[in-house]
Chain A
C-alpha cells in the first residue's frame, strides 16, 4: 500500500481517479434507494464493510451517524415529492482516514451550499426545546474537508472522517 500523509486526506483527491481508488480491496461503493428503509439497509452493509476492514467500533459509530444524517437528509429533502431516486455512496481507505463521496440525483441544496450546521440554542423554556436542526452540526463536527458541489442533475458531497 502506498504511504500517504494526512494532508492527502482531501476529498479533492477522491473520486477523480477511480481506477486507482478501486485498487484497494477495502474500498466500497453502494447504490442506495430513495427511502429511509433503504438508508438503514445501506448503513448495515457499510458497518460490515468497515468491520471487515478492521476499523474500530468507535470509528464505525462516527461513520454511521455521519452517513445516516447525510442520506436521511437527501431522502427527506432532495428527494421530496419525487425529486430524485437514488444515492451513490463510495468509501475509500486512506492511511489516516476514510474518504467518502455521496452523490444523489435529487434537487439541489438551497442556495447551492451546505447548511452552516450551527447547533440550535437550548437556552429556551422546556416547551420550546428544539426537536430538529442538529443533523448538519453532527456532520460538520465529525468530518473534515467537507465539500458540496452541484453537478448537472446531481448533488455531490465529499468529505473525510479521521480514523482516530
Chain B
C-alpha cells in the first residue's frame, strides 16, 4: 500500500534530472522515464494512495481504480511513443516540458480531490505552452500567448467552481457532480474548455498547428483526453454533453473541409473525435462509458500517429499546406504507409483500432435510442474518412507531383510511427486487449458480419463521393474564422470602434478645452516662461557657475590626507547648510 509510486511523479521529477545526461545516455533516459511510468501503473493496486492532510483537507494523489488505470496506461504509452518520435529534439527545455506535461496529465488522472486535480490541470497548461513556444516563430509566440490566456480563463472557472462547491459541501472530494447550480456549471466549463467543446474549443485548432513537430504529437494526446477523463468522473450522464458532443463531432469535420494546413486539419479532427467521447459521457450508460474510454485509448494512439506523419512531412519539407504539397509517396513511402495506418484507424476501417472503439460509442447511442445522435455521429464518421483517410493523404502524398525535395524522416521518427501503427493494428485485430482494461465488464463483438458490411458500405460510398467531388476538395489558400475570432479580431475591432467613438468625444472635449482653458492658461504659461528665463534660470545658472568655479578650487585640494578630507567635508556641510538656509 505504502509502496505506491506515482507514475506522474516519475515523469515530472525525472524530467528535472535530464540536464545531467548527455548523448546516448540522454536518449536512453528519455525513453526510460515513460517506461518506468508504465511499470508504475502496472504495479498500482486499486485503492487510495498518497493521502496527505493539507489545512485539514484530505488530498488524494492516488485514486487508483479501473478508470484511472486505463488512462494511466495510455498516457504512459503516449509519452513513450511521443518521446521516441521526438528524441532527436536537442533542447533539454523542450523535452522537460513534454515530460512534465505528460506527468501532469497522469497527475490529473490519479487525483482523487479537486485541489490536486487543479494543480496538475494548471501544470498541464503551462508545460504544454512551452511546446508551442519552442517552435520559435512569431506566430507560435502569439498562439502560445492566446493558448495560455484561454487556459488560465478555464482554470479560473474551474477554481471558482471548486471553491463555490466547497462552500456548500465542505469537501474537495472529486466525485460525481449533479448538474445545476453555479458551482457545477463553473466546474463543467473548466472541463469542457479543455475538452475543446465549441464555442470554447477554438484554442485547439489555433495552437496545435503552431507547436513544434513533436510537441504537437504530445499535445494531441493529453489535454483533451484528461478532460474526457474528468468529465467521466464528474459528469457521466449529463444530457447536455450528448448534444455538445454531437455538435463537436460534426463541427470538426465541417471545418476540416475548409482547412488547408494539414496539422490544423488533424486538429479539427481531434475536436470531432473527442466529440464522440463527450457524447458518450453524456449518454452515461455503462456501455457508453466503456465506449468513451476505449475510444480515448485508441484515439490517443492513432491521432499521435497522424500528427507524427503530418509532422514528418513538415519536418522534412518545411511545408504543411495542401496547396504546396503533393506527390510525396515517391520520396516518403514509409511515412505514407504509416500515416495511412493511422488514417484507417481513425476512419474505423475493420482490422484497425478505431473500428473496435468508435463502434461502442455509436452502438451505445443506438441502445439508448438516441436516433439523432446516432445519425450525426455516423455522418461525422463519413466525414472523418473523407478528410483524414482520403483528402489529406491524397493531396499530400499522391495527387499532383509538385517535385518537392524530400526524404524519409530520421529513424527515430519512423520508429515512433511504427510503434504507434503496430498498436493501431494490434488493437484492431485483438480488441480484447483493450476491452479487458475497460472500467465496466463488456460483452461486445465488433466483428459481426452485419457490422463489417455496414461499415464497409459507409466507407466505400464515402470514397465514391470523394472520387466524384475530388476537384472541389483540394486545399484553398485561406484560413477559416472560428470562435477565436472574438479574441483575435473581435477585440481589435471593438478597440477600433471604441477608439473612434472615444476619439470623437475626446475631440469635442479637447476643442472646448482649447478655447476655454488652454488659451488663457497658455497666456499664463507665457508669462511664467518669461519669469522662468529671467529669474529662476538666473539663479540656477548662477549657482551652477558658482559650483563649477568652486570645483576647480576643490580639485586642487585633493591631497590624499584624511584630515584634509575631513576639513573639506565639514566645510562642505557648513556651506550646504548655508545654501539651504539661503534658498529656503
**Is the pairing of A and B real?**
no
